[in-house]
Amino acid sequence: MKKIAVIGTGYVGLVTGTCFAELGNEVTCVDVDKEKVEMMKNGQVPIYEPGLEEIFKRNLHAGRLSFTLDLAAAVDGAEVIFLALPTPSAEDGSANLQYVYDVADQLGPLLKNYAVVIDKSTVPVGTAEEVAARIAKSATAAFDVVSNPEFLREGFAVQDFMQPDRIVVGTESTRAREVMAELYEPIVRDDHPLLFMSPRSAELTKYAGNSFLAAKITFMNQIANLCEVLGADVDDVREGIGHDTRIGHRFLYPGIGYGGSCFPKDVLALIHTAEQQDFDFGLLKTVVKNNFAQQQVLTAKVLGYFDGNVKGKTFALWGLAFKPETDDIREAPALAIIKALTGAGATIRAYDPEAMKNVQRRFGDNPSLILTKDEFEAADGADALLIATEWRQFESVAPDRLKSLLKYPVVFDGRNIFTPATMQEAGFYYESIGRPVKHPR
Ligand SMILES: NC(=O)c1ccc[n+]([C@@H]2O[C@H](COP(=O)([O-])OP(=O)(O)OC[C@H]3O[C@@H](n4cnc5c(N)ncnc54)[C@H](O)[C@@H]3O)[C@@H](O)[C@H]2O)c1
């Protein structure tokens, strides 16, 4: 059992804190957001993450998990201190390290005994060294700074924490290494190894992983776009290459671009890191450019269908979160669609199973955006349906029911959730990504 402090209780910090409490540790989470801390103290989980609420409540009631606004109280006596703070994109694409450095600057005098300070945030190469230097300025107790990047996926965060593919720990300190090995011992398995390396390698591993996945998605999106002009079907091509064990089946589904709080900012930050060393990461620059274009693809299809004029039209939009099983709308492709179509004079009737509150907060003042109570109300009377997130519940909507709701049977599916043949049989004009249009207009 260890005494742990988690600084920042967002998607990463809250999952990390709750899961370490579940493993029997005593965890105090600290945040600067008063409303959030109040909610959590009262037993409410401020984010949607499958499986989190149950273990959150169990550990809160068991007294292993607590919340505070007071940084000094949280780190008092903690042997392990996680930094799970935001690292958003700065104007120039670099990671904004202000949140991490602000906390590092305060930590020195608060450390009473030896502590391992762990960078869990995604931070550029060299940050662990800078965090250590900042803490050292005012610390009297011994400490180590370790890089331990987080690889969890929103929507699977608890599962990914408890059964990680691997845990990466960057440290040169034997003492910190022992603490980290003990901390993760309950979840380390032969096939879920704890990988020790230098802090610099650990920091780069996180960016390399996310950038690789962003490039893989972008590659498939490009293949899908090529399928459309060549008359090939991306589903067949995907199957055909996925069976090659060097490629694999995962992350081969084309769509309307990657989004979320990680891929966009992490790819930009790696390009920036490379540029600082006069290293031109041309491949990733192309990924960014192509992904931006891909986020406009569905809108372009709609505009093409309506001869460039959508003024006065009403569109149903299914899905607002950047992917299913999360309420996170940061950099979601749906936002680009809302902006483009309402900007062109259309009205959007939108629904998402989990992200409505976040959308309301961000776009509540847009009179052309109507938030509906479910996917059926969104479709009711719309000139066409657009699909931006592949929530399971949308897949099970019967085409006949959908047809009876829409004003015209027209669907632009940015996530390929329906089968073209089924939609054609049901009498829809149906466009998806990289698959032949069965009903040319
Ligand atoms: N979200 C993901 O799926 C994911 C996955 C892997 C890595 N990461 C990385 O983890 C880090 C955190 O991401 P997130 O999605 O959890 O962010 P988030 O925005 O959801 O949460 C960050 C939290 O930190 C709090 N905070 C800000 N300043 C603070 C301070 N001075 N003291 C205490 N709390 C403070 C905020 O109020 C917020 O609650 C980022 O670097 C991100 O790139 C995120």
Level-2 CATH architecture, domain 295-431: 3-Layer(aba) Sandwich (3.40)
Between the CA of 261 and the centroid of ligand 1 the distance, in Å, is 10
Mutate to test the pocket of ligand 1, among 33, 85, 156 (most ligand atoms within 8 A of CB): 85
Q: What is the 3-state secondary structure (H, E, C) of 378-399?
A: HHCCCCEEEECCCCHHHHCCCH
List the chain pLDDT tens, one digit each, 441 residues: 999 999 999 999 999 999 999 999 999 999 999 999 999 999 999 999 999 999 999 999 999 999 999 999 999 999 999 999 999 999 999 999 999 999 999 999 999 999 999 999 999 999 999 999 999 999 999 999 999 999 999 999 999 999 999 999 999 999 999 999 999 999 998 888 999 999 999 999 999 999 999 999 999 999 999 999 999 999 999 999 999 999 999 999 999 999 999 999 999 999 999 999 999 999 999 999 999 999 999 999 999 999 999 999 999 999 999 999 999 999 999 999 999 999 999 999 999 999 999 999 998 889 999 999 999 999 999 999 999 999 999 999 999 999 999 999 999 999 999 999 999 999 999 999 999 886 545
Which protein residues are within 6 Å of ligand 1, measured from CB?
7-13, 30-33, 36, 84-87, 99, 102-103, 121-122, 150, 152, 154, 261-262
H/E stretch holding 6 reads: strand 3-7
Say which of 19, 29, 227, 262 is annotated catalytic.
262
Rounded Cα distance, 400 and 384, in Å:
15
Rounded Cα distance, 391 and 321, in Å:
9
DSSP 187: G
- 161, two tokens: 């924490």
Cβ–Cβ contacts within 10 Å for residue 62, how many?
A: 11
- 207-293: CATH superfamily: N-(1-d-carboxylethyl)-l-norvaline Dehydrogenase; domain 2 (1.10.1040.10)
Check for a shared fold between 207-293 and 295-431.
no
Direct distance between the N- and C-terminal alpha carbons of the chain, in angstroms, rounded to an integer: 66
Q: Whose CA is nearest to atom 24 of ligand 1?
A: 8
Q: Whose CA is nearest to atom 20 of ligand 1?
A: 10
**CA angle, 192 then 193 then 197, to 5°:** 145
- Domain chopping of the chain, boundaries: 3-197, 207-293, 295-431
DSSP 138: T
Atom nearest to 157 CA in ligand 1: 3
Given a contact cutoff of 8 angstroms between Cβ atoms, the answer to whether 356 and 387 are in contact is no
Rounded Cα distance, 194 and 204, in Å:
16
- 5, two tokens: 């402090």
Between the CA of 8 and the centroid of ligand 1 the distance, in Å, is 6
Domain 3-197 coded CATH 1.10.10.10: no
Packing angle of the helix pair 52-61, 11-22 (nearest 10 deg)? 60
The predicted model scores a pTM of: 0.95
Tell me, yes or no, if 262 is annotated catalytic: yes
